[in-house]
């Protein structure tokens, strides 16, 4: 059951997929249509899942699921992963690699390998105040408060010393 992402409970689980490039306006339109269709039919053992999505910076796809109605199961999570993998193939983009880091450089969102980010931290090209995207947040409350934060407040901090 597709609902507006902003109407999901703060405790709703989130999965964040960061793209290795920005999507074009045309691609975003298509992706939104595909997300609408997928989430409208997304179920766990035949039971509706109350879910929505958010797309930020033409680069991050966040799927939120209110588990108070019905919780995700292995099969429903597999279905969402297959959906994301299909987006990767269709748009020739990487959405699943968790070993990459996105951070802000002014108004621009940069995307680097973890190794490159470590080098940038060592060279002081990124600082404790650099805004990073903490894709490890697990629910909407954390997404709203701890997703887009200074590196010193995130797991990225370990590379800044």
> Which pTM was predicted?
0.93
Q: Phi and psi dihedrals of 28, rounded to 5?
A: -60, -40
* Domain parsing of the chain, residue ranges: 5-91, 100-159
| CA 74 – CA 13 distance, rounded (Å) | 14
pLDDT band, very low/low/confident/very high, at 70 (cuts 50, 70, 90): confident
The answer to whether the beta carbons of residues 76 and 56 sit under 8 Å apart is no
Q: Is the pLDDT of residue 73 over 90?
A: no
How do residues 115-145 score in pLDDT, each as one tens digit?
Answer: 999 999 999 999 999 999 999 999 999 999 9
Q: Identify any residues that bridge with 60 across adjacent strands, giving them in sequence order.
A: 18, 56
- The length of the chain in residues reads 161
CATH 1.10.287 fits 5-91, yes or no: no
Write down the pLDDT at residue 58.
Answer: 97
């Amino acid at each position: 059951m597709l609902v507006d992402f902003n109407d999901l409970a703060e405790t709703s689980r989130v999965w964040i997929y960061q793209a290795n490039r920005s999507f074009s306006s045309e691609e975003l339109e298509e992706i939104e249509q595909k997300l609408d269709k997928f989430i409208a039919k997304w179920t766990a053992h035949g039971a509706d899942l109350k879910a929505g999505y958010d797309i930020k910076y033409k680069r991050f796809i966040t799927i939120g699921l209110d588990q108070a109605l019905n919780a995700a199961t292995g099969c429903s999570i597999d279905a969402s992963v297959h959906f994301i993998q299909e987006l990767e193939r269709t748009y020739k983009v990487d959405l699943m690699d968790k070993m990459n880091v996105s951070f802000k450089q002014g108004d621009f969102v940069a995307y680097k390998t973890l190794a490159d980010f470590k080098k940038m931290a060592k060279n002081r090209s990124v600082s404790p105040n650099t805004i990073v995207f903490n894709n490890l947040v697990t629910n909407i409350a954390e997404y709203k408060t701890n997703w887009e934060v200074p590196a010193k407040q995130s797991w990225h901090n370990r590379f800044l010393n």
